[in-house]
Structure 1
Amino acid sequence: MDSTDMLAKRSEKVKKFFSDKTNFPYFILGILIVIGYAIRSKTLKNLIDPTTGNYIPLALDPFLFLRYAKETLTNGALSAVDVMRYVPTGYEQIGEFGLLSNVIVGLYKFLGFFNSGITLEYAHVVYPPILFCLSLIFFFLLIRRLFDYRVGLLATAFLVVLPSYLYRTLAGFSDKESLAMFFMFGAMYYYVRAWQEKKLRTAMICGLFSGILTGLMGLTWGGVSLVFLIFGLFVLIEVVLDKFSEKDFYVYSVWLFSLLFILKVFFGQKYTVSTLALSVTSGFMFLAFLVGLINLIIRKKNLFGIKDKIEGKLPLGFASLIISGVLGVFFVTLLEGFGAIAGKASSFIRNLLEPFGFTRWNLTVAESHQPYVSDWIASWGWSYMLLMVIGSIILVYNLLKKTKLKLKGTAFYTFFIFAFIFSRYKAGATLNGVNTLSKSLYVGSLIALGIGAIAVYFYAYKKDKELYTSILNFDKNTIFVIVWFLLLTVAARGAIRLLHIYSPVTTVLVAYAFVKIFDYAKSLEINWAKFGVYGILLILLFLPTVQGSLTNMYTSANNQAKYTGPSYGSQWQTSMKWVRENTDEDAVFAHWWDYGYWVQTGGERATLTDGGNAGGYALNYFMGRHVITGQSETEALEFLYAKNATHLLMISDEIGKYPAFSSIGSDVDYDRYGWITTFQLDKSRSQERRNDTNLFYAGSYAFDEDFIFDDTLFVKQSGGIGAFLLPSVPQEDGTVVLKQPEAVVVQNGQQYSIPVECIFIEGKEIEFEQPGLKGCLMILPRVNGNQNEPFGAAIWISPKIRRTLFTQLYLYGVESENFKLVYDDSAQFFPHGLSLGVYNGRLIGPQKIWEMSYPQGLEPSEFYYSNELPDERVRES
């Protein structure tokens, strides 16, 4: 066959593909996939480390996965213990990283087959957009099965450009989520397909695929517990509604046991059956299995005549739930004691209100902070937010439309969803998520929904058989989406980082709203009304100026991807080059935990702490208390010596993070807790006087401890400093003499002028005789463009912060025999010969590294070796 014939045949196949209307959705899907990859790969040009010439990850955690991928490629597998982490003990449980590391290595080999110039670093940074594109296929297939291809395509289009789903799928964000979401969509698709299949064999094969994919998700990411919840709660509802057939039970059993097999075989040390069964979240999937099993036994076998005794008194599905609940309580009590159930109930309520905890350990992690609905609106736009809510309301209406309760039920749900979501609207608002009204709306609306649903269910069973029959005919697909939406709404309301996993179901509801409103408009007989609705839909969907439209989100996503660069910036790239070239290979670095993965991967050196925080509570407590906020060099050296540390690293980020590590490093009374606030020179409020200029530094600082001045008690966090006044006397030789400053203190609406006993400038402390505030005002330069103001800013160092090792070594630069400064990038990165200062509105400074020299006679605490907290009460405070 010549080339002309081959070309003709291929042309014919292409024409046939496009002439078949059933292929049209796949053609659009292909375009969306190309657009999605094109957007997400725009960051690639920003991800090259000039010190190595290699690609680097976009965020912090992916550095760990890059190191593990390199180890997997070199050795074929990960070692049993990672000696680079948590020196000297190392990190043993690295099974959860094996799958992702092998996926990245596999991708490297696959791409290398087509291009031998591909590096592992390149494969690592392109893994997120590639897995994102693959996940879009499962996502579209899932939504098409739940609704139709129109909802599937529109939801996929929104997912491609949705801001809250973009960052973690950008090239370089090579974390767990991209792979986990691929498995999640696949698991959902096959599970939905399983209950839709008519043949048992096909359904069970789909259930098997779903279980395998769920298990693989569990090997990748702890967020798999949300899938356990979704599937478990969905099955419980199906059993209660008498919709859980024998085939459904077999499918669910295959799903459950296949995922348990995967987890047990590949990560048995974390996922034991007992641990999963007794967990508040994963326990739901075991409860669902037990309820389904008992329901099947009652219906099929009628053991002890239970079915005959129950029928007519209770719905069989609900009776199965009660029996299973009693058995569950019995076994949990048997295994964990009488207080276990009350403890789990308390934990459930606490997790509902504070999903990621309320202790100092949780609240200092930015990703675990609870978001406000106003944050969602800022990301999505009001139109998208409202369409999401409207989509869920239309979904509920369509669920109820064949019942007598379609209007009342929909109205009740509308009240619930607005109260539930908007109970945490905005900080400072009436509904701030913290006050009694907010919590009452949040929990109360959820309780009202549950009680209302149960009341209607039993009323219909006892009094209205027609209504009961219509309830039993509820659409499975709709119930699944509602469960998916409501559970992830709870999750996303609990922590900022879960907005990513929440995003897909929001696109489904927004797309559903568009399609259903469009279908309704088509049925309108009045043309102006019909085309008016069409016009509004087109505006909301495509007008670039509407935040939340596809075009607006596309532009935003393009710009975000184009200008997003790595958090491991030039300062870190340069310092880690120095570390690689100037420190011993067995060097061990101490620093705050945030920087561990950068030092391990970029600097190729071991660390005491890192972002995994798997070294126990004590490790970060000791680092925060005895090193960074340590009160003496000896105190720090004893801990560092016990951990075999050779180097200490600090950077100006510590100033902003001071509340975090001083909180974690405090005792139960928060003795070390403090903060550092920046004040900036306001020339318009400074006063030229006869002999000097009174410089006015504006800012805001709340006292971190009580103090008394002139018999007046100034209370911690009630009183504070609103400004500093610093007299400046110019000299004939061009220099300036600074006199004792005053602090403008405000408390209970009253203003006081209190002298400040110390200023720090040009590398030295200047103390004044007149008593007053015992902290120190550190004068800093301020640089805007080419304009340099030597006295343009200041930071207030309170008395408790003034005596810390952080202040003495990093801020003051005090020389020490025990801490030898071996690296300081001030000269390289800061203009005008300056160092720490305010540059173009940002407080930034040098990175410094010290090498320790340990004196004789150190006596480290036994707690340093055991990694136990000296006072366990700190864990819960």
Structure 2
Amino acid sequence: MDEQEGLIEARKRRLFDIVKQRRVWVLGLLVIAVILGVYIRSMPMHDHGGRPGLWDIARDDWTLGPDLDPWFFTRYAKTIVEEGSLPEIDMMRNVPLGFETARETKLLPYLIVWTHSLVNIFGDYSVEFAAAFLPVIMFVLTILAFFFFVREVFIGRGKANEGKANVIAFISTFFMIVVPEFLSRTVAGIPEKESAAFFFMFLTFYLFLKAWKSESMRGAGVFAVLAGVSTAAMGLIWGGVTYVFITIGVASFLAFILNKIRKKEFIIYSIWILVSFGLLSLLSQKFSLFEMTSSIDSGLAFLVFFILVVHFVVWKTKISQIKFLEDTKIPKNIVSLIAAIVVGLLLVSVAFGPSFIVEKGQVINRFLFKPVVGRWDVTVAENRQPYFAEWKNSFGPFIQNRPIMFWLFFIGSVVLFKKMLNKIKKKDSWVLTAFYVLFFFGLVFSRYASNSFFNGENFISKALYYITALLLIGSLIYYYALYHKEGHRGLERVRFDYLLLFALFVLCVFTARSAVRLIMVLAVVAPIFVAYLIVECFSKWQESERGMGKNVIGIIFIVVVLLSLFAFWNYYGAVKQRAYYHVPSGYNYQWQKAMSWVRDSTPEDAVFAHWWDYGYWVQSIGERATVLDGGNMITFWNYHMGRLVLTGDNQDDALEFLYNHDTTHLLIDSTDIGKYGAFSSIGSNKELDRFSWIPTMMSDKRQTQETANGTVMVFQGGGMLDEDLIINESGQNIFLPAGAAGVGGVILETVNGANGSFTIDNAQVVFFFNNQQIRARLRYVYFDGRFMDLGEGVEGTAYIIETIVPSGGSISVDRMATMIYISPRVMRGFLAQKYLLDDVFNNFPNFPVAYTEPALVVAELRAQGLGVRDFVYYQGLQGPIKIWDVEYTGREKKVEEYVSIEPEKYIDWVL
């Protein structure tokens, strides 16, 4: 008995010893992080009322989430699974030219294929299932790569430093998992480029740091090669490989200036850039050596490589024995920098001409202030340049309108910046930290809001932006020169891993203010600084002696922890809800049913024309070729589609453009109403002759007036005039200029009829100009399926839409609550006449309706016996997907311009 008890005690001690080991805790917490990440990211695949959220109701099978682009990669993956490889020319795109598949990055489709092979070990699963599940797998890998990268940044010598690094890495990782901004590109059902690319980005940083810190040259070389391979893998997935090239390039340049690069570091950098450039140029035609060396992102990394080569050529050869070089008091690396600049400028001028340098300077200047130019880029929502007042919303929660996460990561970055400079004189470190704070404020707040003093466009905004950056750079140069003169080596002892982290952080802040879609990258990196702030506050409290100072630090630590917990809990709640509902909506179900008709009822060689947004859906779900798609490889065709078809004012031009693209069907859906401003802008000439919009107006019940035999109703809403108007009031012509005068509403007068019916007797549109209200008759009204011509007035239309009003579990229909105002300019176009008004003027007879798929809510209401019209207002405007056959007259001709990929031959403005 005693022997058995002793054995039990021995086993308990052994288990306790195992549990006490740091590696066990690290592994255990990593497992918890992975489980949490998988649980959240897989939520769209969970049960949603008897079936998974990611479900195609037409095919009764797995599908993807509500995004567009993932369908393109899924289609390529399906082609590889079915045929073994991709064709050289993808004829489903850009009809009639097709698309060279070698110009597209292919790694993501192959990842889906490999996932398909993996999951089919456990059963029979479709490619769509594999594509939906891939982001979950990649997020697990991203969690691991992110953890080890953050840990590698902060790890130092000694168990205490290793423990701090582990804590910072875990806090950062758990925050990263629940950051809502990061969800949309990493959740199940969205096999987007970013879902896989972030893994390779953090893996590259980790491997590069491991190479830099390796004591053996062999180990450093292996890690450098792996970092190059990982960089190439990221580039073969996402153009965001820019983050790797710029971050490592800037960090290595700073390390070079600080005299931290010796032979080993030079070899590491050389291996990394040569491997990554070589693989990218070898594996994809999208990357050429010329483009990579001359661009402002990968080109920057190459420029640093060139500087390092010049440095080692100058100082490791007989050139260093030149008397000037032997006698100079200028730092060697500065001499090398000057020499590299001179030699580089001469080589570039000879090879490409001096204008090449000027052009790159202009590109950089535009990149700093207005990275998005051209009508197409500006109209793409995710490319829009945000203001701080907008992107701060991604860094809540808020307390008294202050974004908690934003201020936590900002303060954390300031504390870490000061820590990074702890080897220089204390006073100098405080001065540089103060300049860093100014620089951060200039970078962020110089583009605060459109109506702010700092709107990012005016002189004071640009001055703040430039001056704060120059102050930081100037102060660094000053102290660099001062410390060199004094022989002080404090700046040389700045840790490289901190340089790399700050290069990444500043780049992320810059790109967050440059494009909406890039806010998520900052959202992923920001938690690192929050985690560091928490751990550093605790360390300072531990190190402080008892007294008032320790108590103050303790209070600060508690406040930081409480705010962080508050932010984490809010993030967790928000990300869970978003993940669960990141599934196909009624709008997607409408498309699934419409594409089912397309698959079953149109020839396999049919070609569809539509606005570019829907191309990947038609190609992948409908399995038919398209003229345009989300790749926007030929934006000139977008111009023609917008000008000649969607806003086109005559049938002949529309037919001729479609004829040149072998089009058999034309498709429009209800979201095109909201996108009218986008495609009418792109489809306009230099003077914006087609640019317009379709505003929604709501009935103001408070202004409704009963008359002796009817009712007067007021609809409010509108916008600026899209073209000049001349109206006649009391026999006098009044000129209303476009862009200065505006529409403020519409007034309708009804006349009562028998059995509660009524007719619309009069319509007026209300204009505002020079603080005056001007009313004019409106000629057309569309109501209850009838188009009414009131005889005279402004040649626009009040299009009245039924509004669905849920109330206490029941639904009612308000027939006079909502309208859209169709201006005279819009009225002249195809979308208004054919899609909204069913070709009431018979101007487009060669487009007979082939199929109409009603909005899901309309279909359900009709099934319940409610005879609602095609368009209803319910949680926004909802309407049908309409598909028309295209019947050619035989008079159409081949026009080179309509299939040209060179817009500069035909237009002199930027699309």
TM-score, normalised by the number of residues in structure 1: 0.94
Aligned mate of 2:150, from 143, 148, 158: 143
Give the aligned partner of residue 754 of structure 1.
776
SS at match of 1:728: strand
- Residue ranges of structure 1 left out of the alignment (5+ in a row): 1-6
SS at match of 1:78: coil
SS at match of 2:903: coil
Give the aligned partner of residue 111 of structure 1.
119
1:423 aligns with 2:451: no
CA, structure 1 residues 425+88, in 2 after alignment: closer, same or farther (shift >3 Å)?
same
Cα shift at 1:692: 2.4
Give the aligned partner of residue 24 of structure 1.
25
- Equivalence map 1:684-703=2 (5 Å): 684-703=702-721
SS at match of 2:96: coil
Q: CA–CA distance in 2 between the matches of 1:749 and 1:677?
A: 21
Cα shift at 1:713: 2.2
Cα shift at 1:15: 6.2
1:432 aligns with 2:455: yes
CA, structure 1 residues 204+473, in 2 after alignment: closer, same or farther (shift >3 Å)?
same
Cα shift at 1:160: 0.5
Aligned partners of 2:804 and 2:812 also within 8 Å:
yes
Give the aligned partner of residue 335 of structure 2.
319
Q: CA–CA distance in 2 between the matches of 1:231 and 1:452?
A: 23
| 2:882 alignment partner AA | K
Cα shift at 1:311: 5.6
1:798 aligns with 2:823: yes
Aligned partners of 2:538 and 2:554 also within 8 Å:
no
Aligned length: 858
Q: CA–CA distance in 1 between the matches of 2:324 and 2:261?
A: 20
Give the aligned partner of residue 162 of structure 2.
none
1:730 aligns with 2:752: yes
Q: CA–CA distance in 1 between the matches of 2:319 and 2:884?
A: 74
1:608 aligns with 2:627: yes
CA, structure 1 residues 635+833, in 2 after alignment: closer, same or farther (shift >3 Å)?
farther
- Equivalence map 1:523-542=2 (5 Å): 523-524=543-544, 525-526=546-547, 528-542=551-565
CA, structure 1 residues 492+377, in 2 after alignment: closer, same or farther (shift >3 Å)?
closer
1:191 aligns with 2:231: no
1:216 aligns with 2:233: yes
Give the aligned partner of residue 133 of structure 1.
140
Cα shift at 1:102: 1.4
Q: CA–CA distance in 2 between the matches of 1:12 and 1:180?
A: 44
Aligned partners of 2:369 and 2:456 also within 8 Å:
no
CA, structure 1 residues 870+181, in 2 after alignment: closer, same or farther (shift >3 Å)?
closer
- Equivalence map 1:652-667=2 (5 Å): 652-667=670-685
Cα shift at 1:875: 4.3
- Equivalence map 1:359-508=2 (5 Å): 359-381=374-396, 382-404=403-425, 405-462=428-485, 464-466=486-488, 469-508=489-528
1:511 aligns with 2:531: yes
Give the aligned partner of residue 265 of structure 2.
248
Q: CA–CA distance in 2 between the matches of 1:863 and 1:803?
A: 24
Cα shift at 1:748: 2.2
Cα shift at 1:16: 5.9
Aligned mate of 2:299, from 283, 286, 303: 283
| 2:800 alignment partner AA | I
1:819 aligns with 2:847: yes
Q: CA–CA distance in 1 between the matches of 2:249 and 2:184?
A: 30
CA, structure 1 residues 261+426, in 2 after alignment: closer, same or farther (shift >3 Å)?
same
- Residue ranges of structure 2 left out of the alignment (5+ in a row): 1-7, 46-51, 155-164, 397-402
Aligned partners of 1:576 and 1:602 also within 8 Å:
yes
The answer to which of 676-685 and 304-313 deviates more is 304-313
The answer to which of 446-455 and 793-802 deviates more is 446-455
SS at match of 1:774: strand
1:37 aligns with 2:38: yes
Deviations 1:451-503 (A, max 9, x none): 332233224334x333xx21122221111111111112111211111122222
Aligned mate of 1:620, from 634, 638, 657: 638
1:173 aligns with 2:173: no
CA, structure 1 residues 96+858, in 2 after alignment: closer, same or farther (shift >3 Å)?
closer
Aligned partners of 1:310 and 1:316 also within 8 Å:
no
The answer to which of 82-91 and 297-306 deviates more is 297-306
Q: CA–CA distance in 2 between the matches of 1:310 and 1:271?
A: 42
Give the aligned partner of residue 59 of structure 2.
52
Aligned mate of 1:566, from 584, 592, 602: 584
Aligned partners of 1:727 and 1:739 also within 8 Å:
yes
| 2:441 alignment partner AA | F
SS at match of 1:292: helix
Aligned mate of 1:711, from 712, 733, 745: 733
Give the aligned partner of residue 568 of structure 2.
550
Q: CA–CA distance in 2 between the matches of 1:439 and 1:872?
A: 35
SS at match of 2:608: strand
SS at match of 1:760: strand
Aligned mate of 1:84, from 92, 98, 104: 92
The answer to which of 425-434 and 255-264 deviates more is 425-434
SS at match of 2:814: strand
Q: CA–CA distance in 2 between the matches of 1:495 and 1:768?
A: 47
CA, structure 1 residues 400+707, in 2 after alignment: closer, same or farther (shift >3 Å)?
same
Give the aligned partner of residue 4 of structure 1.
none
Cα shift at 1:425: 2.4
Deviations 1:356-387 (A, max 9, x none): x2210110111101122233332221121011
CA, structure 1 residues 873+857, in 2 after alignment: closer, same or farther (shift >3 Å)?
closer
Aligned partners of 2:871 and 2:880 also within 8 Å:
no
Aligned partners of 1:215 and 1:263 also within 8 Å:
yes
| 1:435 alignment partner AA | N
| 2:771 alignment partner AA | G
Q: CA–CA distance in 2 between the matches of 1:696 and 1:99?
A: 56
Aligned partners of 2:153 and 2:498 also within 8 Å:
yes
Q: CA–CA distance in 1 between the matches of 2:617 and 2:214?
A: 49
CA, structure 1 residues 254+676, in 2 after alignment: closer, same or farther (shift >3 Å)?
same
Q: CA–CA distance in 2 between the matches of 1:228 and 1:132?
A: 22
Give the aligned partner of residue 783 of structure 1.
804
The answer to which of 726-735 and 387-396 deviates more is 726-735
- Please tell me the root mean square deviation across aligned C-alpha atoms, in Å: 2.2
Give the aligned partner of residue 608 of structure 2.
589
| 1:124 alignment partner AA | A
| 2:756 alignment partner AA | G
CA, structure 1 residues 14+603, in 2 after alignment: closer, same or farther (shift >3 Å)?
farther
CA, structure 1 residues 285+123, in 2 after alignment: closer, same or farther (shift >3 Å)?
same
| 1:669 alignment partner AA | E
SS at match of 2:424: coil
Give the aligned partner of residue 266 of structure 1.
283
Cα shift at 1:74: 1.2
1:845 aligns with 2:879: yes
Q: CA–CA distance in 2 between the matches of 1:8 and 1:761?
A: 86
1:201 aligns with 2:218: yes
1:296 aligns with 2:312: yes
Give the aligned partner of residue 3 of structure 1.
none
Aligned partners of 1:573 and 1:602 also within 8 Å:
yes
SS at match of 1:649: strand
Q: CA–CA distance in 1 between the matches of 2:11 and 2:131?
A: 35
| 1:720 alignment partner AA | G
1:228 aligns with 2:245: yes
- Equivalence map 1:154-165=2 (5 Å): 154-165=171-182
Cα shift at 1:42: 0.5
